[in-house]
Chains A and B, each alone.
Chain A
């Protein structure tokens, strides 16, 4: 009898422990669901505090301090077009101060490019970027006579005719049109409807053949290449082992890429980066580039 009661007691204890574990698990899960995001927001708040401190320094005409704060906020994961824009402004103010550092104007261009990448509708950034590039070209034109911008490669130019989403939706529409044409051809009997179906098939097929490769190419370029801006007076072309290239890459116009130029990084190897500048593909020192943050 005593054994029986002991056994029933131990079973009851076991049950209560199981309940306790269940409750604990539930509490942990609820905590993760409800409190986790708040914690994440809290760490984000710290980055925004830094950005605010940077803004105050910027307003107090202390560009060096401002850009330190903006850079730290970026390092802590804050991605915002206005942060990039303000950082560009801080670099610009430093560039015109006695504390100017070579490459400051390249940093301005990088900040503005980043702002445009995050918000393509930012007309002001676009205008200022044009002005900065014009100033870089003016300064550079004296000794070198080269422009900052380069004509993009044919593939990138084609893909760049429209945003990536446009190619995607065009491909989707073409696919639907082709399907409808095929269906009409199978189901409809009237001659005029059959003709319309045939037209649908032709147009859909043509559009699909155009939009699908462009959509794929846009995705590939977006995934495999990283936009960056040159932040030194000139990023010299190197060979794959990092010494100045004896033979310049095909279609290269000069010994290097000018400050402020937008390039696309194809791959990195140690301290080197293989970049596409216009139609030219070659190696430069990775430290001379600033990668642009994207969402």
Chain B
């Protein structure tokens, strides 16, 4: 090789080396954007842990897809659950965006030992890229040592406070969501330390989920119930991106916005710790009986970890509520459906003495808990007229019920003189824990004194002078009816078509007549055919054979004559030859000449001669045999095709 050629080869070699180096660097760059995380390094047999593969690509690249996780025998996985994420960073004034996919597998080992997990791989820009494999130690059940807590809050995945997207508290504050309290007590794995309503037996999703909880599940119309929606995530932080309204159709809803909503709790579920927040706390009041589903809610959550945030959408499963009417037994007069709770009624009446036609003020306070009514039950008596009440109230949700008071102010006009007991205001209601109750408040006695007419004062207009109002005119048309025994309704209104057989019966008459006609026609047709059949020689031959059998039973020699008829009729039926008129010696030849089988023709002659022998010899024993032989011959003869003649 000449020196110049050697130089050229070295140049080519260097270029190739440089290209390979560039390719390696680019692959490394891609590989660096893959990361695999395990939620634990040591687990027990049967204990589920989570494997997460995160792949990030630049804004202008295709989205990573088709993640895969290689697992050794003895380890089973479910998933992956996919979620997308977006990361924005500003470096030296330049904005760069990355998109990515996080694939989450729930992995459960079935045997003890040390196992490689992965490599997890994913398709990026048409190339499958793999991350480094991880390992997990699986120990026998009950022998795992306490997991060293990783990250500042001991969460399964690390938490980097310097990561711009890992700053959950800041993010939560920005979103107005509850913020984890850094001074809060460290979480404990003891589920009993968590309030009952926050506990969950099994996590339906290893990353995040919503749960709607209702209490109680069975209520009466008007009885308040609590609906709470909780969000759980195994990530260090989370944020709400958007949320739909909670379904609660057919209920009056009051947002309680309790303190609990500003708290994030650590809730152990299985062997995992979750961050949980109460995102809705509502008081619902059912308006009608029935079975209802409430609490369905869709929420987009931004799950925050040190790798950034990923947005996932989760939906809560609705809870079923049964709303029933309170019992009819013991229901007091004036009870209205929905009046539920526990109340006290207080009244004030002032003044106690007014001139006739004047008015007193009645103020009633209905205090308690429950579904407050819009009106009270008023006493009714002649000469006393209650106005529509003015209502003021101070009612707010408290201790899982609407609590407070409603004030009803009435103006009561007294139209007749004298001392009047105004009766009592009342409110019948249903108390779920005690049954029907009535809040009562007697109004006491009020005196209406006759006013002394001053001279010059015009007389008040008589009510009779004014034209009656339209409703009065209608009322004048009606008089109360005394008979309400339940007997005055018109009886026997049940229509004939209420019976099941009505419509079939409508068609039965015509159908029977048509069927009768059809059957009649069918009968006559059968009868005609029958008589036509009776006229045939074959029929007559068979009839003669039956006759011969009967006669032979009594050893009557007349049977032989009947058998002769059988032979002659069968021959005539098949050949048209009147055999009786032919000499017996010529009979066989004639039959054969007409195409009748020779064997049967000869046998016919033989049977006729045997008949003569039996008849004249009175051979009773042979008679039976002759009957049988003739019958057999007849059947064969009648199977022969008729000759053309």
Contacts and interface: CB of A to CB of B under 8 A. Distances in A.
Same assembly? yes
Interface of A: 44, 47-48, 50-52, 55, 57-65, 68-69, 72-73, 75-76, 78-83, 85-86, 88-89, 92-93, 95-99, 101, 118-121, 124, 127-128, 131-132, 135, 138, 164-165, 167-169, 171-172, 175-176, 178-179, 182-183, 186, 204, 208, 212, 215-216, 218-219, 222, 241-242, 270-271, 286-287, 295
Contacts of B484: 48, 51-52, 55, 73, 78, 80, 82-83, 86
16 contacts: A55-B482, A82-B483, A83-B484, A85-B478, A86-B484, A98-B385, A101-B375, A128-B478, A135-B470, A138-B470, A179-B510, A183-B513, A186-B517, A216-B503, A222-B495, A271-B288
Contacts of B382: 60-61
Given A73-B484, A168-B497, A178-B510, 14 more contacts: A44-B486, A48-B485, A48-B486, A65-B334, A75-B328, A80-B484, A93-B475, A101-B375, A119-B490, A131-B477, A171-B497, A182-B513, A241-B249, A295-B491
Nearest to A164: B495
A115 B112 CA distance: 81
Contacts of B471: 92, 95-96, 135
A241 B505 CA distance: 44
B380 interface: yes
Contact of B475 (A96, A172, A178): A96
Contact of A79 (B378, B481, B482, B486): B486
Contact of A82 (B331, B377, B481): B481
B506 A212 contact: yes
Interface string B311-336: 00000000000000000100101100
B287 interface: yes
B381 interface: yes
B250 A186 contact: no
A128 B477 contact: yes
B493 interface: yes
Contact of B488 (A80, A131, A135): A80
B488 A82 contact: yes
B495 A62 contact: no
Contacts of A167: 497
A-side binding surface: helix, strand, loop or mixed?
helix
Residue from A89, A118, A218 having most chain B Cβ neighbours under 10 A: A89
Interface string B354-391: 00000000000000000000010110111001111000
Nearest to B290: A270
Contacts of B509: 175-176, 178-179
Nearest to B333: A68
Contact of A219 (B381, B387, B498, B520): B498
Residue from B250, B472, B509 having most chain A Cβ neighbours under 10 A: B509
A64 B489 contact: no
B388 A98 contact: yes
Interface string B501-533: 011011111101110110010000000000000
A64 B474 contact: no
Contacts of A204: 510
A263 B401 CA distance: 37
Contact of B489 (A68, A80, A89): A80
A215 B334 CA distance: 42
Given A80-B486, A271-B250, A215 B380 contact: no
Contacts of B502: 168
Given A171-B506, A175-B507, A64 B485 contact: no
B490 to A, nearest CB: 5
A203 B287 CA distance: 56
Contacts of A171: 497, 506
Given A270-B292, A287-B287, A295-B493, A58 B506 contact: no
A242 B487 CA distance: 41
A124 B507 contact: no
Contact of A98 (B328, B387, B498, B516): B387
Contacts of A60: 380-382
B456 interface: no
Nearest to A176: B509
Nearest to B486: A80
B480 interface: yes
Given A208-B506, A215-B497, A135 B474 contact: yes
Q: List 4 A-B pairs, minimum CB-CB distance, nearest first.
A: A179-B509, A62-B380, A82-B481, A96-B471
Given A48-B486, A55-B482, A98-B385, A75 B380 contact: no
A295 B489 contact: yes
A72 B510 contact: no
B467 to A, nearest CB: 14
B489 A81 contact: yes
Contacts of A83: 484, 486
Nearest to A215: B497
A61 B383 CA distance: 10
B486 A69 contact: no
Contacts of A178: 509-510
B496 interface: yes
Contacts of A270: 249-250, 288, 290, 292
Given A186-B516, A242-B250, A168 B489 contact: no
B288 A164 contact: no
A81 B484 CA distance: 8
A131 B476 CA distance: 11
Contact of A62 (B381, B503, B513, B520): B381
